Chain A
Amino acid sequence: MTRFLLRRLGWMAITLWVVFTVSFFLMKAVPGGPLDRERALDPQIEENLKARYHLDEPLVQQYVRELGNVLRGDLGVSFRLADFRVNEIIAQGFPISASLGIVALGFALVLGLSAGIVSAVRRGSAADVGLMAAATVGIALPNFVIAGIMIILLVFLWPLFPAAGWGTPWHLILPAFCLGAPYAAYIARLTRTGMLDVLSQDYIRTAYAKGLPGRTVILRHALKGAMLPVVSFLGPAIAGILTGSLVVEQIFAIPGLGMHFVEAATQKDYTLAMGLVLLYTTLLYTMNLLVDVSYAFLDPRVKLE
């Protein structure tokens, strides 16, 4: 187990380096840069600006400089949000995106698992059809439509929640629900499929034959096996959900990382974009690692090596 973890961590370092290198050269290859603006600059002023940010140096020299900074844990100063270091931006934005993400994930798991179990156990019933139809709609409807409907219903028609902003539990509910809804829908469908698969297996029949109550069979024996596809889905999903969602964050004016991600890319904020890419890579890798580890707990047949 320890060897397994160490090897995976070694690979993580290599992955991060490759991601850094590829992103660095891709960013520089794309036309335009962080100094682009509609107001054309005087050539001398533009030169001064480039020198200030070391953009006048040869690419390789820039690469070595940046890599050195990143290795020292310094992601540099953002181009676009010039008063902040990238580390500060992440330190402020990540907890917000993460807490929103965790609450959204809570919604998604509770709603998705219960809907999936109910429709698998009551297969073919009205409840099954209804829940799965809702899940399909949940997957098909984009975030901003769900958010729009929620705002009209719960902010304007029935003023329960604030329209946007951050700071109280009330501010959290609507965006978390909108962010979690499509995940809930996915989880519901995955749970249902997994459940149906497991329910037809021999060990479930054995469990019933032993005279265990249906509730115990489903929650203790069947659910564990049915969770495997859900868990595989959750790994990357958590990484995505924790690093924020552009749409939900924009609509509800939430100061998370999702906005930063897109803005950094479109405005060619090299340093911020790089910091976020590295953060996302780390998270994705860690989550996948956790998923692999959790398999060993959920399914006794899986061994880590």
Chain B
Amino acid sequence: MKALLPYLLVGLFVAGMVWAVAVGRLPPADFTFTNGDEIKTVDPALVTGQPEGRIIWALFEGLCRWHPETLEPLPGMAESWEVSPDKRTYTFAIRPDAVWSDGTPVTAEDFAWSWRRFLHPGTASEYAKELWYIEGAKKFTTRDLAPGDPVEIELHERAPGALPFAEGEIIRGKLAAIDQEEGEEVYRVEVGGRVRRFRMSESPGGEDACRWVLYDFRHVGIRVPDEKTLEVRLRHPVPYFVDLMGFYPMFPVNRRCVETYGFPAWTKPENIVGNGAFRLKFRRIRDRIRLVKSETYWNRENVQLRTVDALAVKSNTTMLNLYMTGQADWITTVPTEVVPELLGRPQGDFRPAPLLSVYYYLVNTTRPPLDDSRVRRALSLATDRREIVEELTRGGQAPATSFVPEALSDYVDYTPAEGGRYDPDEARRLLAEAGFPGGRGCPKVEILYNVSESHKAIAELIMSQWKRTLGIDVGLVQQEWSAYLSARRRKEYQVARAGWIGDYVDPNTFLDLFVSDNPQNQSGWSNPEYDRLIAAAQHEADDERRMELFRRAEGLLLTELPAIPIYFYVSQSMVRPYVKGLYPNIQDVHPLWAIRIDEAEKDRVLKEEGLR
């Protein structure tokens, strides 16, 4: 036994080596990019992040696709669409050659079913709000039921012959009353002429037990007149509704696949059925996702990449190392420290472009001295944004003079209102007017940020600018992510660092944040005039008037300043020049179906750098 010990150790060592190598060497993919952190899931209904989006955009396709450069909606699963004169009814014609990766056709019913799943409270989709534009959809998700409402009751028992993860049988009726019995809600529902009682429970038991009592989905504005036609009725005109159809949460999933395997098993490469340009080959957690071209995709002739690797790499430095050694063709972000060097690269492969997102300071307007809008304006006027982007971020970020990013005006007819100037004299004057001449008597202002070197550097610089210009006492508070979020939610802060990435190309995605009942509005600021302007804009069918209403609202926002815009983000992508079809755009969305590799140039570039 004793004599065996050294051999055992050597054996273990060799086994370790073999084990490590057993994962196997992969043939390199046609195109490799770093996708940031490991993705949460490939289920379109459950994700919110960019890395997830890049994969879902490849695996699934919505009614429309976004043009890789202009972001204009292009026909996708729908080959065409029509809008009614009141701009509230959309009719989509599903293309006849659209098929799932298992060969079955994609139908309008697939969309209706997927959206029902997306809106269902049991799915708990975080983006559900984006489809609440549809009549009745909000009620379906929130179960905000009142007597008289048509309801559907999902029983625990499935219909005979149903798939293992299908819904239970559905009974429809009219809600008569909701009673409270022993702390439980009991629903009295009129079904076929008689009143039955139901109670929601997790497991079957008792005659009245059911899974869900929901607003009847047949009363939600989604209709399927025939197999290839989808009709959607909105609560009010939504000019960007078609664009929204290209956003991944609205993508359809395959009913048979989901109901056969259930979540999460249906997302496994061997089970998943998609309708996008690529299929999922395999996933190695925190290593890579390999995608292969789909042979059933309707537009397969125009998809050039056969294999794509999305690497899960969290560290910016590692991304750059992979890029520099030719192991990645596109990296989504770079280390801030080397930005100036990268900007000067002769290859010209690092070109930051404006994004639809803003870095701002959220102000708690419920606490003195910041409850006085003059003080908030003074802080904004004392912030020298140029110094921040030139001394700190250095990657081509634009100083934010408005809350809605300027770059939006390249896509829609909107000119952001003017705000964030740098004017120290005016700042001092306003502070004096608010009762704190030269900062005397002004309570200390604290800046809260989540732990991060770059947030810290910016907060320090702004602190010194405010101290220098206004003579007030400024402090910094650094908190770990969860604590920081909860402080914001409970309004236990004075000024907090924040950021917002627009979901769609319209000023509403930014301005909607500060209406009184938006949960994101953690500033405590509530302004009836602002709420009225935003609501009016949302219901306005005329484009020009609508934009004017938004502009007035933004003007109000910038004088009241519950949020002080600091700068607009820019993309930090670095792309090899032989990668074609990857254009900068404000959503930083780069569909893989549009990407092509110039093999001759690739060979030349890599040889030149000694990588081949």
Contacts and interface: CB of A to CB of B under 8 A. Distances in A.
Q: Do A and B come from one complex?
A: yes
Interface of A: 30-33, 36-45, 48-49, 51-52, 77, 80-85, 88-89, 92-93, 95-96, 98-103, 105-106, 109, 151, 155-156, 159, 162-169, 172, 250-253, 255-256, 259-260, 266, 268, 297
Given A48-B141, A83-B267, A93-B285, A32 B486 contact: yes
B220 interface: no
B287 A45 contact: no
Given A39-B520, A167-B23, A168-B21, A82 B264 contact: yes
B315 A253 contact: yes
B284 A92 contact: yes
A48 B121 contact: yes
A81 B610 CA distance: 38
A168 B41 contact: no
Given A82-B46, A164-B327, A166-B23, 17 more contacts: A32-B481, A32-B483, A36-B485, A45-B129, A80-B40, A82-B40, A83-B43, A83-B264, A83-B268, A99-B16, A102-B16, A155-B321, A162-B325, A164-B322, A166-B287, A169-B17, A253-B322
A300 B13 CA distance: 27
B317 interface: yes
A81 B42 CA distance: 10
B194 interface: no
B40 A81 contact: yes
A106 B286 contact: no
Interface stretch (B1-9, B248-256, B430-438): B1-9
Interface residues of B, number: 70
Nearest to B19: A99
B24 interface: yes
A44 B142 contact: yes
B126 interface: yes
Contacts of B520: 39-40
A248 B15 CA distance: 21
Contacts of B125: 45
The main secondary structure of chain B at its interface with chain A is loop
Contacts of A253: 287, 311-315, 318, 322
5 contacts: A32-B482, A83-B43, A99-B17, A253-B311, A253-B313
B392 interface: no
A253 B284 CA distance: 12
Contacts of A256: 286
Contact of A84 (B285, B314, B324): B285
B192 interface: no
B158 to A, nearest CB: 20
B88 to A, nearest CB: 23
B600 interface: no
A93 B284 CA distance: 9
B499 interface: yes
A2 B510 CA distance: 69
A156 B324 contact: yes
A5 to B, nearest CB: 15
B154 to A, nearest CB: 15
B124 interface: yes
A93 B286 contact: yes
Query: 10 smallest A-B Cβ distances: which pairs?
Result: A32-B482, A102-B16, A255-B287, A99-B20, A163-B321, A255-B286, A40-B519, A48-B124, A44-B142, A106-B13
Contacts of A45: 124-126, 128-129, 141
Contacts of A77: 264
Contacts of B345: none
